[in-house]
Every structure is written in C-alpha cells, then in structure tokens.
Amino acid sequence: MAEGRRSSPPKTADRLGRMLAIVPYLVQHPGSSLDDVARLYDVAPAQLRRDLDLLFMSGLPPYGPGDLIDVEVDEDDHIWITMADHFSRPLRLSRQEALAITLRAAELLATPGLPEAPALASALEKLRDSLGPDTAGSGEAIEAAAGGRPAEHLETLRRAARRRERITIEYFAGSTGEWTTRDVEPEEVFSAMGNWYVAAWDVAADDERLFRADRVRAVTPAGVTFEPRGLGGAGRALYTPTGEEVPVRLLLRPPARWIAEYYVTVDPVELDDGSLEVTLPAAQLGWVAALLLRVGADAEVRSPPEAVEAVRDLARATLSRYR
C-alpha cells in the first residue's frame, strides 16, 4: 500500500493472504485497473499479474469449462473476474489483526489535531460492533489519551509531503528560542512523544532536520518539487547528535530522571540513592540552562564550567525581571 516500499521475494502465505483479500475486491469492482489494485494492495503489478494467472487455473470441481474461475486482463489492463462467488467476501479478521489495527488507530488518535480522527473513531466502533467482542475485544481495553497541542498546519504539511513540494516555513526553534524562515522538503509526517513532527531536508543547511509541526507558524509553497531522499522519523530518536555538541554531565535526582528518558543521553551511571548521572550532548548551552532552570534542585550540572555558568546567568537574567 505504501508507495516505494521494497518487497522481498513473496512467500506463499503472503500471496495467499493477498489473493484472499484481492479477489473479493475484484468481484465487487469489475473492470478495476491493474495498477490501482496493485497500489491499493501494495504488490508489484507484475507479481499481481502472475498471481491472477494462477487463479485462472483454480476453481471448483468438476472443472468443466464453466466451473473455472475466469480472469481476464484486457488490453487496457482492466481486470475482469467471474465464477469466483465463493471468494466474493474476504476472510474474517483474526483477533490479532483486529487488535493490531485498533492499537495503530489509538496511537494516531492520541496525537491531537488529526483531521481523520472522527472517521477513524467511528470506523473502529463499526469494526467492534460487527466482529463481536471475541474478535475485537471490548472497547474499554484500549484507549487513546490525547494531550499536547494540535498543529495548525498539519494538513498542509502532509499534503506537501505527499506531493513532494518544497515549502517555506516560519519555524520557532526550541533550542535557540528564535523564529527562523527556512525552505524545507518535507518527506514524512509522524507522531512521537504525543506531538506531530516533520522529517525534512533543510535546503540552506543542506542537511536533514526534524521539525515539530506545532511550532510551524506559516507555510507557503516554494514553487518547486523535489526528489525524496528516503527521510523518515517514526520510531527513531528525535535527536541524533552530530558530534559538534558540548557534552554536559548531569546529576539527575529521581524526580528529574525523566530527562534521561526524554532526551538522548549517553554514559549513564546509576548511583546508590536512585540518582542517575548522564551526559547530555547539547547543541546549545542556552537550551540546557533552560532545562536546568525548569527542574531546579532536582538536577545539577557536573561539567563543563561553561554550562554551570550558563545556568547561573539564565537564573540571574530571570531574576532581573522581578527586581
């Protein structure tokens, strides 16, 4: 289904599963185009053609000329199929399949601002009602708890990724606290930690960057399309150290241990009192100082001295606002 996915040599079980799903579609949609069906079911057109040829040879006894499934792919690559009434509806969803799609849906529903959310929720409800609790389980057992803030430009960003259009964005960089205007080539929109992100090529930086969708203030088309580089972000660390960072050694007391779970850190050392020492590779010391100001007494900078100083300077600057 997803475009551009590499396929390994097909296994019989995979082909069987696919055919048991595709044949009902073809019975219901006479004259479908081979390319459309191949795209919809994520199969190479040539493989689909081979599998359909096999189907042509199968059928029900006693295999008279009128008993074989008849498959015809006409000169315009439209598919016509007859005598396949026993395959006119697909196999039921297994428990595992129903569970898997429900879990995926919950992951999407928990990230705010998804335009498809109402349709997805009602689809899940229909699925549960039709399959029954034995297959689909009870509605209460899997929940999406939304949090965070919706991204205003989510739909525009997704459309640009799909159409491979370069866009100009106004972006608030959390690490520097600055607004920037950049040309980017968005390739994947994904959710992580409850927020939407965009994996994109930053044209000026000539490098890959991840952008938080809710920090994008404005999007305008740059008027050119791009060749995707295969960038993606889902399931990946949100920050990949470049080696240029300052290694900041932190002592995290138990209430601040979340920092090690939330950000990329290295060299953890567990201490006896439940504290944790880690090194945080920091591209901007200002950002680390803001983090330390946030957690206060629950964390301490061990090194380098510049980072200790940055925290003190930020605290002093903050205090000056109150004097």
Partner 1 sequence: MEPLERLLNLVGLLLETPTPLTFDQIRDTLDGYRADNVDSAKRMFERDKDQLREFGIPLQLVDIDAWGTEQGYIIPKDEYYLPDIAFTPEELGALLVAAQSGGEDTRAEQAARKLLYGADGGVLAGLAGGPLASGSDARSALVLDCADSAQRRRRVSFGYRTSQGQEGRRVVEAFAMVFRGGHWYLVGRDADRDDVRAFRLSRFTSDLDDVGEGSEPPEGFRAADHVRAGPWAAAAEDHAEIAFSPKVAWWAVASFAGAREVGVDEGWIVADVPMADRRLLASLVLQFGPDAVVRTPSALRDEVIRRAEALDG
302 binds partner 1 (CB under 8 A): no
DSSP-derived secondary structure letter, 140: G
Phi/psi of residue 222, nearest 5 degrees: -90, -5
The Cβ of residue 52 has, within 10 Å, a number of other Cβ atoms equal to: 21
Question: Rounded to an integer, what distance in angstroms lies between the CA atom of residue 287 and that of residue 172?
Answer: 13
CA distances (Å), origin 210, targets 78, 192, 238, 311: 42, 11, 7, 26
Window contacting partner 1 (CB under 8 A); options: 70-78, 191-199, 243-251, 277-285: 191-199
- Which is nearer to partner 1, 140 or 206 (by Cβ)? 140
Q: Map the footprint of partner 1 across residues 196-225, applying CB under 8 A.
A: 214-215, 217
7, 28, 180, 240: which one binds partner 1 (CB under 8 A): 28
52 binds partner 1 (CB under 8 A): no
Window contacting partner 1 (CB under 8 A); options: 220-228, 240-248, 277-285, 289-297: 289-297
42 binds partner 1 (CB under 8 A): yes
276 binds partner 1 (CB under 8 A): yes
* Cis previous bond, 255, omega within 30: no
159 binds partner 1 (CB under 8 A): yes
149 binds partner 1 (CB under 8 A): yes
72, 74, 239, 312: which one binds partner 1 (CB under 8 A): 312
Q: Map the footprint of partner 1 across residues 115-134, applying CB under 8 A.
A: 115-117, 119-120, 122-123, 126-127, 130-131
119 burial (CB, 10 Å; 0-12 / 13-18 / 19+) is: exposed
30 binds partner 1 (CB under 8 A): no
319 binds partner 1 (CB under 8 A): yes
- Which is nearer to partner 1, 41 or 203 (by Cβ)? 41
Q: Map the footprint of partner 1 across residues 90-109, applying CB under 8 A.
A: 90-109
145 binds partner 1 (CB under 8 A): yes
235, 242, 244, 305: which one binds partner 1 (CB under 8 A): 235
CA distances (Å), origin 196, targets 76, 136, 147, 199: 41, 28, 12, 10
Place of tokens 């525009």: 156
Those residues whose C-beta lies under 8 Å from the C-beta of residue 224, and which sit 6 or more positions away, are 165, 166
| Residue positions counted in the chain | 323
* Cis previous bond, 304, omega within 30: yes
Helix/strand/coil for 249: strand
